[in-house]
Structure 1
Amino acid sequence: MVLLSIVPAVGLLGLGFSLYLAHSTLKNDPGSPEVSGISKAIQAGATTFMRREYQVMGVTALLFALFLALVLNVYVAFTFLIGVVCATLSGFIGMSIATRANGRVTWAARSGLSQALYVAFSGGSVMGMAVVSLGALGISGVYLLFRLLPATPDPLTVITGYSMGASFVAIFIRIGGGIFTKAADMGADLVGKVEMGIPEDDPRNAAVIADQVGDNVGDVAGLGSDLNQSYTDTIVTSLLIGAAAQTTGGLYLGEKGVIFPLLLVAMGSLVSTLGILIVRWLARKEVICPEVLLRVGLLTSGVLSLVGILLLSYFYLGELGPFYAATAGLLVGVLIGLNTEYYTYRRPLRTIILASEAGAANNIIAGLAVGLESTVFSMILLGLGMIAAHHFAGLYGISLSGLGMLSILGINLSMDAYGPIADNAGGIAQMSNQPARIREITDRLDAVGNTTAAIGKSFAASATAAAALSLLTAYSEAARIENLDIREPRVMAGLLIGGVLPALFSALVIQSVDRTAQLIVVEVRRQFRQIRGLMAGTNPPDYGRCVDIATRGALSRLVLPCLLAIGIPFVVVFTLGPEALAGLLAGCIVSGIFLALFMANAGGAWDNAKKRIEAGEAGGKGSLAHRASVIGDTVGDPLKDTAGPTLDILVQLMATVSLAFVPLFERILR
């Protein structure tokens, strides 16, 4: 019990560190009235969107909690609401600081690259530490509460509610934020760049503030909720599988199998804290370029994490199998990140740039080829990593491999959240007419952020694979499915249905982006046509109209994808049976992870090809290659930032719902 109490204590310390980082970020100068005014407009737009989305989500969450209380029990409903609150709070904290840090980064760039990097990374670190700290605090708190209170059920029978709460928030934030950000981005680019020929982030473009808002609601709050879901699901399944009658290298784990994952969570929070402190310290020293600096912080945290896992495995469990399993997961995560960097930033990117010289069609064909090829090594790595984890620690090892991958989530998510802050800083520099050297610094930070964002999306897909397979394992055990025979017609039917669901889900989300973007395009065109002096820069556009259109479009198109993710498991299990549902989850995992990796890498490659051309390659801005790359980037935007990331949510939410409702399925079917 003493060991177990360490976990919430570390969670509280991490939350305190997150608040310290927030205070440290906000101490920086917000800049001139023009810079701070633009930053406040972005902040107001993001707050408006999140408030309206939280209202919809809150009502829906209460109704779903009532449903859980009626069909399962009130304790599952209670843990579900705790999961919703923790996930919502972490996203709100991270996005609130990100929208306040952007202008401060722009102004800090006047003091040089290192100061701007310091402020941007500090702002992103608030999100990273908030997610891991509230995750550790929430799960360990629920476990201890139900273990200590009399006349309450076993915590492991109700903790799936917490996992479902995190997934519930993720699907709202990721889909809603994704539709908002890409609809605004496409609307701004199609009218501003393609039709009017004005630069990106030009203040004359009515959709430019909505575009900056979208970076925060989509890439900060959205990615944070995505990885928080993977983190929570992996911890919960590790507890469930660890508590089962498993053997690890001949050693029965018993209660240690439950406490060990929680100790890994506490250790991961501590090493991420150290990694963040190292990056902040080195940034002030001005001795390493941003690309290398962030990598040093990540690798340092990774090495410290491996040492921590080794010590816990040896001294607490007396068995190294779990260490090898977790190490396999961590190595797979690192290698997939390097694979993503290669395909979105290195030699394959050159093929897209060269193809752009022949036109938009060639740009898109080359990008599709790069995206498809990029998935091969990642999928093989995931398979080999799971085989290795299972070899060393059985089914328990598969869940531990996911925890190993996510053991450095704090610093990994900090790097991911840094990207949108740097992107916003560049936009503010452009809109406030800062000197060229300021824009050069923010562009360099943004270029690093693009790479960390692409790696973050592939990391999220990898973490989803580990979490979803763990959930499938836990579901199979809870439903007492000993063998899944693919020769059985119902199982094969489940596989086929599961395999096609990610395609349907992607289609719904992409259509939502397209329709909302069309409305924004019409509005931006109207303003250019009707507002006198707008093109000359003597009269400002109405930014609020585009923010409102994007908000209404995103919220109105949330319902169908959410119903699909939650409702399909019920339909399949009651028509085809529990085995077919297991097949559906397996099919959804394979096709969902493949499509998520493909969309993330293809979209990232198109985006970076455009930026390289804008930097002067293949004729530079205004050339045929540039126009082709803008179209390719516009095609890739909804893939990498909306459809691909939401597949992570779909896969895990369906598996979480299936696991949580096993008692209901058994009552009705058996």
Structure 2
Amino acid sequence: MLSSIFAIVPVTSLLALTFAFIFFRQMMKSSEGTEKMQRIAEHVRKGASAYLRQQYKIVIIVFIVITIIFSFLAYGLGVQNKWVPFAFITGGAFSGLAGFFGMKAATYASARVANACRTSLNMGLKLAFRSGAVMGLVVVGLVLMDISIWFLVLNHFIEDMAGGYKLMTITAIMLTFGMGASTQALFARVGGGIYTKAADVGADLVGKVEAGIPEDDPRNPATIADNVGDNVGDVAGMGADLFESFAASILATALLGAAAFIHMEDIQLNAVLAPMLIAAVGTLLSIAGVFMVSTREGATQKELLKALGLGVNVSALLIIIASFFILQYLALPNYVGIWGAIVVGLLAGIGIGQSTEYYTASAYRPTQKIAESGNTGPATVIISGVGTGLISASIPLIIIVVAITLAFGFATGFNFGMDSLNVGLYGIGIAAVGMLSTLGITLATDAYGPIADNAGGNAEMSGLGAEVRQRTDALDSLGNTTAATGKGFAIGSAALTALALLASYFEEVRMMFVKILDRPQELINNVPAIDASFYDFVQHYEIHLMNPKVIVGMFLGVMAVFVFSGITMNAVGRAAQKMVDEVRRQFRTIPGIMEGTAEPDYARCVEISTKGAQREMMTPSLIALLIPVVVGLVFGVPGIAGLLTGTITSGFALAIFMANAGGAWDNAKKYVEEGNLGGKGSETHKATVIGDTVGDPFKDTSGPSLNILIKLMVMASVVTVGVAVSYHLL
């Protein structure tokens, strides 16, 4: 069954991992600077490693419990494929590895970037970006490796089946390892987000507002914990998050391709391989794009953004060209239309990124207006930020609507009838693959942000000169924008990926009848299950707005999004209160801190953040795992359809609002700190610091965690589809 062209996928995975190792080795060869710079970097590394070890211990316990449950469903009740427990474990393991390697590179890079800035801005930019590329290339490399291994193994062990069901079975099993990745990603995102924001809020409120000392001042006890948090949240968390998005988009599209061309076996394999090949070629072009990033000394923020954008945009343009020839070679029906869907996905990703940049970068009016509102105090800063965040959600929503419509239309020749539904859904899935095809370099720009932030912190704490601090500040401010853009991109990709997964849910329902429950002749909308279409299953389960089960599910999906956001926000608040109390205690009881003659107890603050994150991350994570199972048991397949619809739509809008509002508050503070509107220490500055503390859990905890919630709830529904089909009360 395998085609020789599939070899591109595992070869590309090895190339990506090789270049990640090369960039890591190059970074490690550069100097870490003075003894003090090295000591500070070592504090951060130890704190990040200690946190991650503790988190993985908890995650391993959770994975053991879930694997036992999946094994019971597969081997006891017979309502799940017997490969699923193993796929679940490998998905989580590879996701955890991606986060670990990315964080390791980031914690070794920060002091080296600060030291490079002692020479030039360009050297600092290149080193920070290529260190971020380690994360990007490790993520895509491990995804492609995991897919390659599973595809080869399952192709060998799954017996041949008539009617194209072998590929349906293989892709359906492979899709389930995405749940392992999603579960690991949610723990990483929620735990890391709580950790970093507890430290950040404590450092800002007591250090900047009460004590009047600069950000990253070594006299602030929470500074090291804040820098550790940047790595465990924005590096390890983001890496695990986008690992799952990349894998899920490829695998959901492969399953939809297998379903769309199920009666065309000569075409079916090529439709399954198409998303894998596009992702592989996009990875190769991402590697090329990394080498294009450079800038001149004294570059402005817009010039720095342009420097990063060059690598991303050139890679995107080249994948547009390459994907056309890939689809032409694979000879898919209407390959030009399917190529159009890929272009739509790429343009949608760029559009969401540009929209996010406009609403969050200090170079544009929305963020400047928030800073100006600080003249009348923190209340107006918060009001202005909320308003800006709400408005900012409109453009990404419109972009996603247009992308869905055009992707479906291009793939079907703008035939919106039910007879072309499967091919249209394949178009939406491959648009998600298009959006994520250059993830290797896109994620590099995002991982660059916390590396630059930590470099600035190291420079401040090490007492480097004003010129060096100016360079690290420029890289840090750029990092705030790239981080906000990256979060918008991640949330946008989650929306398209979740839609592809939602469509895959019904293909899993079909597989449940045909292969797992062995009821291929059961009538579905008066058609035997083995011959029933996607639309037949929708009709059979009455998935429409007049079905109260669907409506109830939609409301429950919206509820889950808001409850999850509230719990994660409150978790940050509780952990931050403990951090504020601890920082105040140290200022009060340790003589000589403010004079710089005594070193604060950094370890105690790291310990508070670690314990707070571990304690608080369980409840929101369990919500995402349990609600789909409960809704499926009570309301069956229609309830799940409504639940996922409500979760995807409300979760996407709320996530964009929170990420953009938080990013705008953060950069409004940076705008003032650059010397505008009174500069550091002014009343306007204090007001924007308050706004930033409100925005911290918005942009770094609840907002980015929502895109994982969306995908994990869909994944949990897909993996437990046998329960919803076989056992439900209504």
TM over 0.5: yes
Q: Which residue of structure 2 aligns with residue 94 of structure 1?
A: 102
When normalised by structure 2's length, the TM-score is: 0.89
Q: Which residue of structure 1 aligns with residue 330 of structure 2?
A: 316
Q: Contact 1:457/1:645 (CA < 8 Å) preserved in 2?
A: yes
Mapped to 2, the partners of 1:617 and 1:634 lie a distance apart of 20
Which of the numbers 247, 260, 263 marks the counterpart of 2:277? Answer: 263
Q: Contact 1:139/1:162 (CA < 8 Å) preserved in 2?
A: no
Residue 330 (structure 1) aligned with residue 346 (structure 2): yes
Mapped to 2, the partners of 1:324 and 1:57 lie a distance apart of 41
Q: Which residue of structure 2 aligns with residue 605 of structure 1?
A: 664
Q: How does 1:344-363 map to 2 (within 5 A)?
A: 344-345=360-361, 346-363=364-381
Q: Which residue of structure 2 aligns with residue 619 of structure 1?
A: 678
Mapped to 2, the partners of 1:317 and 1:587 lie a distance apart of 37
Mean Cα displacement is larger for which, 565-574 or 285-294?
Answer: 285-294
1:37-71 deviation line (CA, Å, top 9, x unaligned): 10111011000000110111112112211221121
Q: Contact 1:242/1:253 (CA < 8 Å) preserved in 2?
A: no
Q: Which residue of structure 2 aligns with residue 366 of structure 1?
A: 384
By how many angstroms is 1:169 displaced? 0.9
Q: Contact 2:13/2:142 (CA < 8 Å) preserved in 1?
A: yes
1:530-570 deviation line (CA, Å, top 9, x unaligned): 11111111110110001011001101112111111010011
Mapped to 2, the partners of 1:364 and 1:357 lie a distance apart of 12
By how many angstroms is 1:620 displaced? 1.3
SS of the equivalent of 1:244 reads helix
Mapped to 1, the partners of 2:33 and 2:101 lie a distance apart of 22
Aligned residues: 667
By how many angstroms is 1:624 displaced? 1.7
Q: How does 1:208-227 map to 2 (within 5 A)?
A: 208-227=223-242
Mapped to 1, the partners of 2:102 and 2:485 lie a distance apart of 19
Q: Contact 1:78/1:161 (CA < 8 Å) preserved in 2?
A: no
Q: Contact 2:370/2:381 (CA < 8 Å) preserved in 1?
A: yes
Residue 341 (structure 1) aligned with residue 371 (structure 2): no
Letter in 1 for 2:597: T
SS of the equivalent of 1:254 reads helix
Q: Contact 2:625/2:716 (CA < 8 Å) preserved in 1?
A: yes
Residue 391 (structure 1) aligned with residue 399 (structure 2): no
SS of the equivalent of 1:439 reads helix
Q: Which residue of structure 2 aligns with residue 176 of structure 1?
A: 191
SS of the equivalent of 1:419 reads helix
Which of the numbers 26, 29, 52 marks the counterpart of 1:27? Answer: 29
Letter in 2 for 1:70: F
Mapped to 2, the partners of 1:467 and 1:647 lie a distance apart of 14
Residue 475 (structure 1) aligned with residue 477 (structure 2): no
By how many angstroms is 1:253 displaced? 3.7
Q: Which residue of structure 2 aligns with residue 407 of structure 1?
A: 437
1:221-277 deviation line (CA, Å, top 9, x unaligned): 1111111111111111011111003499x9994111111111111111111111012
Mapped to 2, the partners of 1:201 and 1:475 lie a distance apart of 47
Letter in 2 for 1:433: G
By how many angstroms is 1:8 displaced? 1.0
- Could you say if the C-alpha distance between residues 158 and 149 of structure 1 is closer, same or farther in structure 2, counting changes exceeding 3 Å? same
Q: Which residue of structure 1 aligns with residue 244 of structure 2?
A: 229
Q: How does 1:544-555 map to 2 (within 5 A)?
A: 544-555=603-614
Mapped to 2, the partners of 1:353 and 1:135 lie a distance apart of 41
By how many angstroms is 1:663 displaced? 2.4
By how many angstroms is 1:287 displaced? 9.7
By how many angstroms is 1:664 displaced? 3.2
Q: Contact 1:245/1:252 (CA < 8 Å) preserved in 2?
A: no
Mapped to 2, the partners of 1:379 and 1:659 lie a distance apart of 25
- Could you say if the C-alpha distance between residues 212 and 587 of structure 1 is closer, same or farther in structure 2, counting changes exceeding 3 Å? same
Residue 436 (structure 1) aligned with residue 462 (structure 2): no
Q: Which residue of structure 2 aligns with residue 120 of structure 1?
A: 128
Mapped to 2, the partners of 1:364 and 1:384 lie a distance apart of 31
Residue 462 (structure 1) aligned with residue 506 (structure 2): no
Letter in 2 for 1:400: I
Q: Contact 1:140/1:262 (CA < 8 Å) preserved in 2?
A: no
Q: Contact 1:330/1:404 (CA < 8 Å) preserved in 2?
A: yes
Q: Contact 2:632/2:723 (CA < 8 Å) preserved in 1?
A: no
Mapped to 2, the partners of 1:312 and 1:286 lie a distance apart of 42
Mapped to 1, the partners of 2:63 and 2:129 lie a distance apart of 33
Letter in 1 for 2:453: D
SS of the equivalent of 1:302 reads helix
Mapped to 2, the partners of 1:254 and 1:466 lie a distance apart of 22
| Percent identity between the two aligned chains | 44
Mean Cα displacement is larger for which, 415-424 or 313-322?
Answer: 313-322
Q: Contact 2:114/2:459 (CA < 8 Å) preserved in 1?
A: yes
Letter in 1 for 2:243: N
Q: Contact 1:332/1:405 (CA < 8 Å) preserved in 2?
A: yes
Q: Which residue of structure 1 aligns with residue 521 of structure 2?
A: none
Q: Contact 1:476/1:582 (CA < 8 Å) preserved in 2?
A: no
By how many angstroms is 1:124 displaced? 0.5
Residue 635 (structure 1) aligned with residue 694 (structure 2): yes
| Runs of 4+ residues deviating >3 angstroms | 149-154, 245-248, 250-253, 282-289
Q: How does 1:446-595 map to 2 (within 5 A)?
A: 446-479=476-509, 480-482=537-539, 484-595=543-654
Letter in 2 for 1:134: L
Mapped to 2, the partners of 1:189 and 1:245 lie a distance apart of 54
- Could you say if the C-alpha distance between residues 287 and 530 of structure 1 is closer, same or farther in structure 2, counting changes exceeding 3 Å? closer
Letter in 2 for 1:495: M
Mean Cα displacement is larger for which, 519-528 or 154-163?
Answer: 154-163
Computed over aligned residues only, the root mean square deviation of the Cα atoms, in angstroms, reads 1.9
Q: Contact 2:636/2:724 (CA < 8 Å) preserved in 1?
A: no
1:308-348 deviation line (CA, Å, top 9, x unaligned): 11111222225212110111111011011111111112111
Which of the numbers 33, 49, 52 marks the counterpart of 1:50? Answer: 52
Q: Contact 2:285/2:319 (CA < 8 Å) preserved in 1?
A: yes
Q: Which residue of structure 2 aligns with residue 380 of structure 1?
A: 398
Letter in 2 for 1:143: F
Which of the numbers 135, 144, 147 marks the counterpart of 2:155? Answer: 147
Unaligned runs of 5+ in 1: none
Mean Cα displacement is larger for which, 67-76 or 651-660?
Answer: 67-76
Mapped to 1, the partners of 2:548 and 2:305 lie a distance apart of 51
Mean Cα displacement is larger for which, 555-564 or 428-437?
Answer: 555-564
Letter in 2 for 1:365: I
Mapped to 1, the partners of 2:171 and 2:51 lie a distance apart of 36
By how many angstroms is 1:669 displaced? 4.5
SS of the equivalent of 2:630 reads helix
Q: Contact 2:388/2:661 (CA < 8 Å) preserved in 1?
A: yes
- Could you say if the C-alpha distance between residues 359 and 252 of structure 1 is closer, same or farther in structure 2, counting changes exceeding 3 Å? farther
Letter in 1 for 2:382: I
Mapped to 2, the partners of 1:634 and 1:75 lie a distance apart of 46
Letter in 2 for 1:364: I
Q: Contact 2:16/2:138 (CA < 8 Å) preserved in 1?
A: yes
When normalised by structure 1's length, the TM-score is: 0.97
Mapped to 2, the partners of 1:347 and 1:251 lie a distance apart of 55
Mapped to 2, the partners of 1:180 and 1:53 lie a distance apart of 11
Letter in 2 for 1:257: A
By how many angstroms is 1:293 displaced? 1.2
Q: Which residue of structure 2 aligns with residue 136 of structure 1?
A: 144
Letter in 1 for 2:538: I
SS of the equivalent of 2:83 reads helix
Residue 193 (structure 1) aligned with residue 208 (structure 2): yes
Which of the numbers 65, 68, 76 marks the counterpart of 2:67? Answer: 65
Q: Which residue of structure 1 aligns with residue 707 of structure 2?
A: 648
Which of the numbers 210, 221, 237 marks the counterpart of 1:206? Answer: 221
Mapped to 1, the partners of 2:261 and 2:357 lie a distance apart of 38
By how many angstroms is 1:284 displaced? 9.2
1:410-461 deviation line (CA, Å, top 9, x unaligned): 1000000011101100000000100100000100111111111110010011
Q: Which residue of structure 2 aligns with residue 163 of structure 1?
A: 178
1:569-627 deviation line (CA, Å, top 9, x unaligned): 11111112211111110011111000000001111111111111111111112222111
Mapped to 2, the partners of 1:224 and 1:207 lie a distance apart of 25
Letter in 2 for 1:423: D
Mapped to 2, the partners of 1:410 and 1:74 lie a distance apart of 33
Residue 242 (structure 1) aligned with residue 257 (structure 2): yes
